[in-house]
Amino acid sequence: MADEKPIVGRTKHGELTLDQIAELQPGLGTLMRDVSDRYWIAYYAAKGGNWELAAYQLRGVRSLFRKGNLTRPKYKGIVETYTKKILDPLDEHVAAKNFAEFEKTYNAGIELANQMHVATDHGEIVWKLPPNPPQHLDLGPAS
C-alpha cells in the first residue's frame, strides 16, 4: 500500500490529491453564511407575499444543510432536529400562505439556532433578523 500513488485530479493549473480536494470542502461555518442569507430572504419574501421566493430560499437552506451533513457529520443530529422543528413547519406555512404562523415559527427558528450555537460551543454566534429586507431582490408577490 505504501507504494500506491495517490488519486489526483488534474487541471491546467496543477494537480490535487483526493485528500486535498476533501479538505477544500466547506464546513458549517462557511455554509452558514449562505444559510443566514437564505433565511433572511425567506422572511422578507414571505412578508412581502412572494411565497415562491420564500419556498425557494427554504429549499436552499435544506440543500446547504445536506452539504453540511456530508462535510461535518458530527452535526447531523442537530441539523435534522432543526429541520423537523423549524423548516418542516415553515414549508407548511409557506404552502398555506400564512404569514402569522410563518413569523412565529421563523422567530422560534432564530431562538433555536442560537441555542444550538451555545450547545456546540459557539455561543459567540448570535443570529438576528436584519431590520431591513435585502435590497437586491423584488420581494413582492411574484408576477
- Please report, to the nearest 10 degrees, the dihedral formed by the alpha carbons of residues 87, 91, 97, 99 taken in order: 0
pLDDT at 25: 72
Which residues lie closer than 8 Å to 90 by C-beta, 6 or more apart?
A: 42, 58, 102, 105, 106, 109
Residues of the chain with pLDDT under 50: none
pLDDT at 17: 81
7 DSSP 8-state letter? P
Structural domains of the chain in order of their starting residue, each with its CATH number: 28-119 (1.20.120)
Q: For 86-112, what is each residue's pLDDT tens digit? A: 999 999 999 999 999 999 999 999 999
pTM summary value: 0.85
